[in-house]
Structures are given as C-alpha cells and as structure tokens.
Amino acid sequence: MKLQTQRFIDRWVGQVLCGAVSAWVRFTGLWTAPATVDTKAKNILVILLSEMGSIVLAGPMFAELRRKYPQAAIHILQLKKNQEVSKLLQLTQPENMHTLDDSSGGALIGDILKVSLAMRKLGLDAVIDCELFSRVSALLSFSTGAPVRVGFTPHTQEGLYRGSFINHAIPYNPYQHISKQFLSLVDAMESAGSAPRNKAAPIRVVPTETELSVKFSPTELEAYRAKVQSDHPVTIDHPLVLMYAGGGILPERAWPAAHYARVAQGLCAAGFAVGLIGLKDDAQLAKDLKAQVGSEACLDLTGYTKSIRELLMLFHASELLITNDGGPGHFATVTPIQTMVFFGPETGKLYGPLGTRNTVLESGIACSPCLSAYNHRLTFCDGDNQCLKRIAPDPVLDQALAYLRTRTEAASV
C-alpha cells in the first residue's frame, strides 16, 4: 500500500474510529478504577512500526523493560519488512515477534484482526505504542485488550487527534532525543495515570549505548573479510571506506551525489578503497558515482550484502562509514566501525546514532530540521535540500582523512 494512501486512511478513518473508541472507554470507565501494572507483569507488547533505524534507537527501552519486568515476556509488533532487524538483534524470543503486512489494504486488515485476537487470547498486562501520532497504532493498542495502554499524546496540539484512550500517556517532546523518550514510555507504565500531570518521573539522560549486540565469531569475521578481498582484490592493500549515498524513502535526506564523488576521489587518491553500499534500487546511483570518481579503487557494493547480518560483517571489515541519515548509520553502532552521518531535514539531536563512534554533520541552516511528527515528515523544500547542499565536501574529506590517519597510526604502535 502506498505511503500517501496509508496517511489518508489514518487521518480520516483513523480519527473517526479514535473518537468512537474514546467515547466507549470514557463511558465504561465510569465504574472502573485506573489500570496499573506491577513488576510481576507476564506479557508486555511493544508496537514499533517505524523504519528499521528506530529499532536500534529503541534498544535502551527494551533493556529497561527487561530490568524492570524480569518475569514478563516481551512481545513486539512491527511491519513484516522490518522484522529481520529484530531477529538479528534478538530483541525477544522469535515466537513473541508479531508482524503486519502492509503490502495491501486487505493484508493489513487481516493481520490487524489476527494479531488483536491473538493478544486478547494471550492476556496482555500492558502495551507500549512507540509511534508518535499514528491512529492505527493507537487503535491497535486498544484492540489488543491490554488494560494499561502507554503512548504519546499530542496534548493541546491541533490536528493530531488520536483519541483519549491511551491511559498512561506522555507528551511527545520535540526537544529530546527519541531514545530518551522511549525510556519515558517505560517510566509511564508505573505512573498512576497520564504523565503530563505526573511529576514523579525519574530524570534521565540520553543513553550512551544501544545495549544491543550481534555476536560474530572471529573465524566468521575473518572468513567474510577474506571473501571481500577475494571478490574485490583492491581491498587487500587499500583499507575500505564505505559510503551510503541513497536517501531511502526520503530522498531529501541525501547529501548531494557530487559531494560524495568529491570525497570518494580524495579518499582513493589517499590510498583507500571506497565501497558504495545500498540496496539494488541504489545501483544506478552507485554506477553514476563510480563513473564520476573514475578510480578502480571505487567499488559498487550495492546489493553485495544479502542480509543485515552480512552488512554488519562488512562494517567489521571496513574502517569508516560515511552515510546519510538512515538505517546504516544506526546499524553501525552495534559494530566497531566509526561513522560520519549527515543530518538536515531531520536532526541528530533527536535521531542521532547512539554511542561514541559517530560524528553528526549538520549545517545549522535556519529551516533545518523541517521533518517532524507534526507535519507527517513532509518537507517544504521541494527537493532543494540546502541544509545538506551547504555542507561542503572538502571539510568532510579532511575530517575523514584525519580520522583514518589517526587509526592507522594507532594500529602501527
């Protein structure tokens, strides 16, 4: 199903359904006490429908859930196309991973009904809706039958109505990193009601680590490095630097291709190999970049990795990743690789990768960031992303070379 179609249905049908559910909950709640959850909870569902990078940013939240509710089985509901990451990161047991197929309206409705019935039969203690202002996820939290429903509230924001049946709600804060806000959702489970009026929430800082890991044996990593060198002999004598120049579903997040070409030329001239990574859809972009760079040390690696696990092994076999805002920059945080990540339409202050092995590159132009939960991530720049175009390539090249030289010197000591 097209993204715009999903937004249209969510906006118009979703608001009507949210209003009806809110009226029902308000009526039936006249004779019941507010729902609460204790540390002996047995089943907790996390709804996380966002793109794959958000799964990594939610890592500290899952770790906190396991610490606070050690007896609970953590269930995850996400889009089918995103499940590979959760399995790789082992966020929960495979049998506790549930999916929605959004390839068509019929498939989506069928999965919603199936999951809702399964959750009601299971008997949830609580559900955490990690989506910001999606009505479908809010309705899902109600349809599962969980007595404690945790999620974000727009409070007084107009045009973002999603009902009043989230009974442990916190306000979305556009000034705080999303990982910190995910942790606040866990805190809200213990509150007596909605958090805007609850002043007892703990003070938290932005997590420094994802608390996630993917285990590889030294033999496995060495075998993969040997495979890369066999497939691309230039990497035997030239340390590999990776670049992800694609914009994914939001092309305005992409740093200009010409800037990537300039940096790649400089890296190749300095004795490094440059691997252009991405999906098969990025193949034409990689072909064009390779032609602009004009060096045998520039490699087209789009489609080279067949899974996220292989991509992580490629990160282990490389020295540096230069990437647009998106999944690769977040996946890299569970590997030793250093990253340089461009932000513009969105900001690293809210969605930057966790950890200490990354550098966020932003221009600071007045209209940046322009994508937010309040405008459904629809930019007003018409593709002319000056916030990224104004990040000049030569300083980026200098910064990359400075890091690579420092790494080489450290390795030789």
Residues 222-253: pLDDT tens digits?
Answer: 999 999 999 999 999 999 999 999 988 888 99
What pLDDT, on a 0 to 100 scale, did the predictor assign at position 203?
85
What pLDDT, on a 0 to 100 scale, did the predictor assign at position 411?
72
Q: Which CATH number fits domain 3-197: 1.10.10.10, 3.40.50.2300, 3.40.50.2020, 3.40.50.2000?
A: 3.40.50.2000
* Amino acid occupying residue 213: S
For residues 81-98, average pLDDT: 94
Q: Which CATH number fits domain 218-412: 3.90.79.10, 3.20.20.370, 3.40.50.920, 3.40.50.2000?
A: 3.40.50.2000
DSSP codes, 186-214: HHHTTSSS-GGG-TTPPP----SS-----
Residue ranges, comma separated, of all CATH 3.40.50.2000 domains in the chain are 3-197, 218-412
What proportion of the chain, given as a percentage, has pLDDT over 90? 76
Q: Classify the C-alpha dihedral 79-84-89-91 as positive or negative.
A: positive
φ, ψ (nearest 5 deg) of residue 363 = -85, -30
Distance CA 21, CA 336 (A): 47
What pLDDT, on a 0 to 100 scale, did the predictor assign at position 196?
58
Nearby residues of 275 by Cβ (< 8 Å), 6 or more positions away: 232, 235, 240, 241, 242, 243, 299, 301, 304, 314, 318
Q: Which range has the worst mean pLDDT, 5-14, 188-197, 299-308?
A: 188-197
pLDDT band at 373 (very low <50, low <70, confident <90, very high): confident
Q: Which pTM does this prediction carry? A: 0.93
